[in-house]
Structure 1
Amino acid sequence: MTDQTPVDVTFDLSLARPDKLGADPRDGGTNFALFSNSADKVELCLFDEGGQHETARITLPCMEGGVWHGFIPGVGVGQRYGYRVHGPYAPKKGHRYNPNKLLLDPYARALMGNIQWDDSLFGYKVGEDDLTFDERDSAAFMPKGVVVDDSYAWDRSDALRTRWDQTVIYEAHVKGLTMRHPGIVQADRGTFAGLSADPVLEHLTKLGVTAIELLPIHAFANDNYLIEKGLSNYWGYNTLSFFAPHQGYLKSWDIQEVKTAIDRFHAAGIEVILDVVYNHTCEGNEMGPTLSFRGIDNESYYMTGEDKRHVYDTTGTGNTLNVQHPMVLRMVMDSLRYWVEVMHVDGFRFDLASTLARDSDGFDRSGNFFATIRQDPVLSAVKLIAEPWDIGDGGYQVGGFVWPFREWNDKARDDIRAFWRRDDSMTGPLSERLSGSPVQFDHDNRPATSSINFVAAHDGFTLWDTTAYNDKHNEANGEDGRDGHDNNLSDNLGAEGPTDDADIMEARRRRVKAAQATVLLAQGVPMILAGDEFGQTQDGNNNAYCQDNEITWLNWEEADDSLTRSAAAAIALRRDLEGFVDTNFGNADLSDGKATRWHHPEGREMTEDDWHDGGLRCLAKRITTASDCDILMIFNAGDPAEFTLPDGEWVQRLDTSADDPAADATHEGSLTVDWQSVVVLTQDYAPEE
């Protein structure tokens, strides 16, 4: 708020430019530019510091290529603003212009204020159909854009660029990670200041993760129907702005708080990856509010069917962003580049990425969106992760994306859960997942690191809850338990929910440690759900998208240190074993045989009959690295098993059943592998003369 809005606003046409969209402060003023292809007139509305009083309403004087623009001297950083766009209100033709509705600039870098739900936010008359026209002014209930300065004095300006084969991802929520942390001051909890506080950085560093993947931090709407039920849009998959950070995660509207947090993560050697939602917006279907895109240029921003009154929905949220339109695609690319070049993030996880690859003929892995990213010198160099599905026809596309994209692998999640649940006939599927899922990813020159392996994520049970609940318990969501997945591949091990039974608790700890170690020792890129490393529970809620409370906030004071030690030991082992991660899916041939072999507990290599033994619960993967190190990983989902070792002396490097999982021991001939545990042994390898 360094500049005051002038009473008399005049444009300097000599400085007006259409090439940079949004509000660009420069040359002693600000250039405003907004794309609206079918508008008749665009009005810029300036507001006072509180964002409640409109101090000026002026028509942007220039337009070319659908970009309305103008430069105003004297308007600078801190100015609050919005738009009113005039044009036809013709829903059947896809047009929903209504100048009574204040609209948020899609390129706004910061927001001030929150949506206050009111019927005036809708372009039609609430209670009637969407063909009606509402004349009420919505400005009092809308957040305002804020003109910001992109400059920042970075302590660490160079990118980390951690190699994929050295990457371990930690999926977390800004608020959920910090709200109950006793080491974070109360005023910082739930914000970026708390996220990058010393106790969080120390924990992540001790654990050994190399990247934090944040659930959506783009500004999002808190849905009115959830508010009315006393709930909220906790996860944030309902984007309002693709440039501005969510104001609820800031102590003020100042986006420098985000940069400070990212800088601190980089100083700790941890990359920052954003979960981004470019497939839809919070405006929903034609019965939704008019907050930004709908009122600016509905026909351009959203996919419509033959009946342009209705938007096309492959996301289950009411609308689908039309990235086939060049200016909409440009907005998304500008947003991505902004977060990399200005905010210094290290990569993105694309929510419902199959939607972004759709054209008129359906899913196209070589389509416009992904081709544009692949050729971009900025974006192609950062980490790119696809959630490879949506709800449309042909939307499930695990393994269907192109390099350099990586993909969430729910097949790994399901098979790892099933193996440790002691389901029959799971040795074969487990071997696939331990190898990086070659059936899905070993094609088109893709590496094994294409697979993002996980056993739990924000959507679904926590890892602990897969061992504590047979059924979902989503009553708190207000949908009578109808929401959420039913196929959780879980097993409560003898009691539904919390228990004081020591044997059940020990069984749960064993299974959690073993499953987490499996993810961390599989080829590909491991991802840990925040809190899984110490036993976080959501009380059996497997769809906690609307729970901004102690159901989802990590309970640091109840952390089980034995689980954390086991996870940290597995991560350290993965890092320390040179050549362990094989981007070639273990297909390399060495002078004396294959680099990867599979062993039966009796000591022989697995036979075809062994792979079809439905009751087999124990097997080992043996890796011979290029540096002549033998690694033997034994996975025992069953009872204690005597395992015959290959010849020679073996050094035990990990035992998830032990109090000290990283304690060394030597074994020769055989060893007893305890129930529900993972054991890793190594020996220097010297081929026979």
Structure 2
Amino acid sequence: MQREVGIGSPLQLGSTVTANGINFAIYSHHATKITLAIFGDIHDSEPVETYALDPIINRTGDVWHIAIIGLSPGALYGYYIDGDHEPQLGYRYDANLLLLDPYARALTGEFEWDLFSKQRRPKSIVYTDTFDWQGDRPLNYPLRDTVIYETHLKGISHTSGKPYAGTYLGMIEMIPYLKELGVTSVELLPVMEFDDMEYAKNGTKEHPLRNYWGYSTMAFFTPKARYAEDNHRGNQVIEFKTMVRELHKAGLEVILDVVYNHTNEGNECGPVISFKGIDNSIYYLLYEDKRYYWNYSGTGNTLHCYAEVVKNLIIDSLRYWVAEMHVDGFRFDLATILSRDSHGNIIQNSPLLQSIMEDPILKKTKMIAEPWDAAGGYQVGEFPGIYFAEWNDRYRDEVRRYWRNDYDTAAAFATRVAGSDDLYSNSGKKPYHSINYVTAHDGFTLRDLVSYSHKNNFANGQNNIDGSDNNLSWNSGVEGDTNDQAILQFRKQRMKNFLVTLMLSHGTPMLLGGDEFGRTQKGNNNTYCQDNELSWYDWSLVEIEREDLFRFTKELIAFRRRHRVFGRKEFFKGYVPAGGTKADIIWFGCDGHSYKWHEADNALGVCFSGEKEATGSDDDGKDMMILFNPTEEIKTFYFPLINNHMHWRLKIDTALESPRDIFPLGKYENLVDPYSYSVQPHSVAVLVCVRG
């Protein structure tokens, strides 16, 4: 069957529904022939319709286009593209391979792909919908008011026992839990389409390996089909939008972890799925011998983000997820690659980053950079762009060292708790641009951080050589699982120390999903290929910890959000601000006097002024005192003499058993001694000033 065709328009790439059919447009500079293929079924290896694009009529500049009259939304399609096959020159054309449309809005996902075969390749779907957003818009909370919860979309609900477990709709079922916990924003590991079976050849029948994390994007406009309850003919788009709408109704933001630094096509041995077969030498950074790919991503290839067509692709993708899918923000994986030029050099004035910052549609969207890459590029505190917040791995490492009681770590720890002004103040950024985290998907969970001194990645099939060896962890006396109740209680106390530090530090806190109830990965710090119980949330632990660790975390988040003193707009000055009565911050030792930095003893106290002159708020808040003791001795802290009308009450003490470890909002405990407080070994106490 051949339909009536028109010249088509080059103005909008992808497949676009028109009044009388579908317009198709695709970029390729070096192609000599392009054929549009229409398929009748997801399993078809041969198209039912083909349309050869005339390079004279159906090409405007480097955009090939055609209109198919009478074709309806839901049609399955792809491209066969021909040209020179000279890998040494960067050309990898193969007219026998069906290629995905880079601008496709949805891909077929109802069967297992084989990206190296001709028969089992995914197809693009002509997609449009009239989704009822019911007035929804992105929430766009200020960063200083944000508490991020990083989670895997499937993993959080897969074992929940709920009807839509492991899907977009399953995330909706988790809303009551997330609301009870008190976070403001959900940061989802990659949900753009990727190949689950990418690592299948590395596993065994007994221990299959699948791409779990999803850091191997196939198409930058497509929500993953397998995360949908019904993914027939693009219904995954509807379910994704439904998830976003319902999360927004509950006051929860949606931030996407996005991977614009590489694709799933890998190196010269990888499959040809889309970009390689469309215009390999344009889309990727290649060596002088263009058979080979620069591998700044550590996964085989690197997108050529300096190229205009790639820059436009990324901007168009970001705009789509904001304007059409209503997401609130993005966390950019290996973001340093986005600032590399055509020769791989890191440049300060990246055209892509400049375009993101200046784009009117993206203006209020959260932009969070992972400011490094796999080739040694490292930009923490120096990532270009005043609007970009940054994952602060210095915070992670120096907080871990301090609570391990490493020698002479108090000064570095204090700098991180105070907002990392050494990293961000010179570039004009604010404390909230520091995304503070102790754990993340890549690395130990919080429970494993206090249970393992060494990684245990043997399940990944790489003889435990994968994953970082620099975990800065301590097993609390016994490696791994134990039935020793004293060790288990000690580990829980240490987890609470990290949680208090994270939530009461200045900057934007990010909590790894499951840390609030002690999720474990059995010491595996690199579960990228573990789509199984090792990675999925064990909800039985929530019930076990509901009145202890979970309650503690919930109350702690509520405490942070209640008090503006923990969400400063500006960095501390260390002196009395104009109109105030006390210094905005005071660091002190056990004697109540100014802390003597670089001493061996890491016991450290700090007072944060809650006066409006110090916090930049409209009203005065409460002063806070935090007493940190990572040592093996009891430390009695004498309170600094700030003024004569300070009365301190106990709010948190991680050495006390629940529920006295943290008191509910508005509740405190009187002190035995109004002038001092003794902090147990490896614990932290928080005191609140009640003026009188």
TM-score, normalised via structure 2 length: 0.91
Could you report, residue by residue, the CA deviation over 1:421-459 in whole angstroms, capped at 9, with x for unpaired residues? 222212111101111111111112111111000000000
Cα distance in 1 for residues equivalent to 2:214 and 2:265: 14
1:617-632 to structure 2, matched below 5 A, reads 617-626=603-612, 627-628=619-620, 629-632=622-625
- Residue 205 (structure 2) pairs with residue 209 (structure 1): no
- Residue 4 (structure 2) pairs with residue 10 (structure 1): yes
- Checking the alignment, whether the CA contact within 8 Å between 1:454 and 1:526 is kept in structure 2 is yes
Q: Secondary structure of the equivalent of 1:81?
A: strand
Choose the corresponding residue for 1:675, options 673, 681, 690. 681
Cα distance in 1 for residues equivalent to 2:309 and 2:148: 33
Q: Secondary structure of the equivalent of 1:379?
A: coil
- Residue 647 (structure 2) pairs with residue 664 (structure 1): no
- Checking the alignment, whether the CA contact within 8 Å between 1:624 and 1:685 is kept in structure 2 is no
Cα distance in 2 for residues equivalent to 1:537 and 1:409: 23
One-letter code aligned to 2:650: Q
Could you report, residue by residue, the CA deviation over 1:300-352 in whole angstroms, capped at 9, with x for unpaired residues? 11111222222222111111101111111111111110000000000000000
Cα distance, 1:223 vs structure 2: 4.9
Name the structure 1 match of 2:527.
544
- Residue 599 (structure 2) pairs with residue 595 (structure 1): no
1:271-420 to structure 2, matched below 5 A, reads 271-359=253-341, 360=343, 362-420=345-403
Name the structure 2 match of 1:72.
68
One-letter code aligned to 1:649: H
Name the structure 1 match of 2:32.
40
Q: Secondary structure of the equivalent of 1:411?
A: helix
Q: Which moved more, 1:543-552 or 1:321-330?
A: 321-330
Q: Which moved more, 1:657-666 or 1:239-248?
A: 657-666
Name the structure 2 match of 1:133.
none
Q: Secondary structure of the equivalent of 2:353?
A: helix
Cα distance in 2 for residues equivalent to 1:622 and 1:12: 69
Cα distance in 2 for residues equivalent to 1:116 and 1:293: 21
Could you report, residue by residue, the CA deviation over 1:615-665 in whole angstroms, capped at 9, with x for unpaired residues? 233423433432443221222223332222245311333333341212511
Could you report, residue by residue, the CA deviation over 1:328-386 in whole angstroms, capped at 9, with x for unpaired residues? 11111111100000000000000000011111361123211110101101123100000
Name the structure 1 match of 2:516.
533
Could you report, residue by residue, the CA deviation over 1:514-569 in whole angstroms, capped at 9, with x for unpaired residues? 10110111111000000001000000001111000000001110232211111112
Runs of 4+ in 1 over 4 A off after TM superposition: 114-118
Choose the corresponding residue for 1:467, options 444, 450, 459. 450
Cα distance in 2 for residues equivalent to 1:672 and 1:235: 44
Choose the corresponding residue for 1:141, options 89, 104, 120. 120
- Checking the alignment, whether the CA contact within 8 Å between 2:336 and 2:379 is kept in structure 1 is yes
Name the structure 2 match of 1:219.
193
Could you report, residue by residue, the CA deviation over 1:223-259 in whole angstroms, capped at 9, with x for unpaired residues? 5443441201110001111111112111222110000
Q: Secondary structure of the equivalent of 1:355?
A: helix
Name the structure 2 match of 1:237.
215
- Checking the alignment, whether the CA contact within 8 Å between 1:51 and 1:80 is kept in structure 2 is no
Cα distance in 1 for residues equivalent to 2:557 and 2:328: 21
1:66-145 to structure 2, matched below 5 A, reads 66-113=62-109, 138-145=117-124
- Checking the alignment, whether the CA contact within 8 Å between 1:406 and 1:450 is kept in structure 2 is yes
Name the structure 2 match of 1:650.
648
One-letter code aligned to 2:190: P
1:141-220 to structure 2, matched below 5 A, reads 141-182=120-161, 184-185=162-163, 188-197=164-173, 200-220=174-194
- Checking the alignment, whether the CA contact within 8 Å between 1:389 and 1:398 is kept in structure 2 is no
Cα distance, 1:150 vs structure 2: 4.2
Could you report, residue by residue, the CA deviation over 1:8-30 in whole angstroms, capped at 9, with x for unpaired residues? 222123xx211110011121311
Cα distance, 1:55 vs structure 2: 0.7
- Structure 1: segments with no counterpart, 5+ residues: 1-6, 123-137
Choose the corresponding residue for 2:42, options 47, 50, 60. 50
One-letter code aligned to 2:224: H
- Checking the alignment, whether the CA contact within 8 Å between 2:521 and 2:535 is kept in structure 1 is yes
Cα pair distance change 1:150/1:377, threshold 3 Å: farther
- Residue 264 (structure 2) pairs with residue 260 (structure 1): no
Cα distance in 2 for residues equivalent to 1:657 and 1:270: 32
Cα distance, 1:98 vs structure 2: 0.7
Q: Secondary structure of the equivalent of 1:546?
A: coil
Name the structure 1 match of 2:427.
444
- Structure 2: segments with no counterpart, 5+ residues: 613-618
Q: Secondary structure of the equivalent of 2:288?
A: coil
Cα distance, 1:275 vs structure 2: 0.3
Cα distance in 1 for residues equivalent to 2:418 and 2:43: 55
Cα distance in 2 for residues equivalent to 1:373 and 1:150: 27
Equivalent residue pairs, number: 653
One-letter code aligned to 1:664: Y
- Checking the alignment, whether the CA contact within 8 Å between 2:589 and 2:603 is kept in structure 1 is no
Q: Which moved more, 1:435-444 or 1:629-638?
A: 629-638
Choose the corresponding residue for 2:559, options 552, 573, 582. 573
One-letter code aligned to 1:641: K
Cα distance, 1:401 vs structure 2: 3.1
One-letter code aligned to 2:589: H
Cα pair distance change 1:640/1:155, threshold 3 Å: farther
Q: Secondary structure of the equivalent of 2:609?
A: strand
Q: Secondary structure of the equivalent of 1:110?
A: coil
Query: For the aligned residues, what is the CA RMSD?
Result: 1.8
Q: Which moved more, 1:93-102 or 1:613-622?
A: 613-622
Could you report, residue by residue, the CA deviation over 1:84-104 in whole angstroms, capped at 9, with x for unpaired residues? 011111112111111100001
Cα distance in 2 for residues equivalent to 1:103 and 1:456: 38
Cα pair distance change 1:632/1:490, threshold 3 Å: same
Cα distance, 1:114 vs structure 2: 6.7
One-letter code aligned to 2:23: N
One-letter code aligned to 1:671: Y
TM-score, normalised via structure 1 length: 0.92
Instruction: Using the aligned pairs only, state the percent identity.
Output: 40
Name the structure 2 match of 1:614.
600
One-letter code aligned to 1:574: R
Cα distance in 1 for residues equivalent to 2:690 and 2:361: 42
One-letter code aligned to 1:232: R
Cα distance, 1:462 vs structure 2: 0.4
Cα distance in 2 for residues equivalent to 1:471 and 1:580: 34
- Checking the alignment, whether the CA contact within 8 Å between 1:385 and 1:406 is kept in structure 2 is yes
Choose the corresponding residue for 1:604, options 578, 586, 593. 593
Cα distance in 2 for residues equivalent to 1:44 and 1:252: 27
Cα distance in 1 for residues equivalent to 2:169 and 2:201: 26
Choose the corresponding residue for 2:627, options 627, 630, 634. 634
One-letter code aligned to 2:172: S
Name the structure 2 match of 1:127.
none
Cα pair distance change 1:202/1:676, threshold 3 Å: farther
Name the structure 2 match of 1:129.
none
Cα distance, 1:580 vs structure 2: 3.1
